[in-house]
Amino acid sequence: MRMLVVGSVAFDDIQTPFGVKKNVLGGAASHFSIAAATLIEPKIIAVIGHDFPEKYLKYLSGFGIDTAGIERSSDKTFHWSGFYEHDMAVAHTRSTELGAFATFEPKLSEEDKLRQVLFMANIDPVIQYKVLKQMKNAQLVGLDSMNFWIESKKKDLWKVIKEVDILFLNDAEVRMLAGEASLIKAAKAIQKQGPDIVVVKKGEHGVTAISHNHIFVSPAFPTEKVIDPTGAGDSFAGGCMSYLVANSQPGKKISDDLLRRAVAWGSAVASFSVEGFSTSGVAKATKANVEKRVEVLRNLSAF
Ligand code: AMP
């Protein structure tokens, strides 16, 4: 199965206890696709501004990512600025400038419309929906979002969520979206609205994945080197979705066993992401070193 990814491709300004970086490559679709490229060759649908350097596009293609669906606009590139406090548990947004994404009208080629897998990485849910509606043969649809869109475009976000198979959100976002304090209750309430699978990301505390009558909990890989958590959630989703794509057949339901293995793969990939600024951490994830971390994860919680 072949995967299309829509989502932000951006410039990030990041401040963590380990330093400050300005105008580095960011965006949910960038982190997601580099993570997924460990197993598959995803294609990105996005828009960049006149200020986006060619070298970043070349860098993305270097992973086997198809960048032909990244349009160039005369506007500015999406720009996110944020910081983390001492524990690096929560990203605090300083500013979000949509730039070219504010007027982006995604137009898929006939070939793209026939792809079997769509992942809607974090971006305006109106844009996510416009891409989803063009798909003619999607067998597996995933979605990620964040507090920014839950607060500003909740109705539009619900409209997309109702049509997805697998939803990725962090614990605070799941509570916020469902308006429920109990995390499991909140995830199940969202599941009732459409997605078969709700994957709750909990940062260094791992992941809880909920499907019908099944709950799976994966710890995070216990890395000691946490430099920049930006993109860890996207990298997790990229790892998880690429594992599903690489190991499932079109039209076949995702088994609980496959879901468990995909979540473990995503957790291992995400642990590379936090080990460096921007995408430099996730860029080091290879099939072989991810497999090693999956084995560590397997032994961490078996008893
Ligand atoms: P994560 O840390 O996995 O939640 O993802 C961080 C990435 O999301 C950064 O590289 C940002 O460029 C991007 N980002 C931040 N805010 C938004 C937003 N409102 N919409 C889309 N992407 C965003």
pLDDT digits (tens, 9 = 90+) for 43-61: 999 999 999 999 999 999 9
What mean pLDDT value characterizes the chain? 97
* Mutational test site, ligand 1, from 230, 278, 279, max ligand atoms within 8 Å of CB: 230
* Three-point CA angle 125, 77, 269, nearest 5°: 65
Closest atom of ligand 1 relative to the 12 alpha carbon: 12
| Residue 234 near ligand 1, beta carbon < 6 Å | yes
Q: Which of 186, 265, 273, 195 is nearest to 233 (CA)?
A: 273
The whole-number pLDDT of residue 213 equals 87
Mean pLDDT on 183-196: 96
The whole-number pLDDT of residue 249 equals 82
Q: Is the pLDDT of residue 250 over 80?
A: no
| Residue 42 near ligand 1, beta carbon < 6 Å | no
Count Cβ neighbours within 10 Å for each residue of 69-82 and write b for 16 or more, e otherwise: bbeebebbbbbbbb
| Residue-range domains of the chain with CATH | 3-301 (3.40.1190.20)
Q: How far apart are the first and last CA of the chain?
A: 36
CA distance 143 to 6: 10
pTM, 2 dp: 0.97
Distance (Å) from CA 230 to ligand 1 centroid: 8
Name the strands in the sheet holding 91-97, side by side, starting at the edge strand that comes first in the sequence: 19-26, 10-16, 78-84, 91-97
Quick check: 56 and 33 in contact, CB under 8 A? no
Torsion sign (Cα): 199, 204, 205, 206: positive
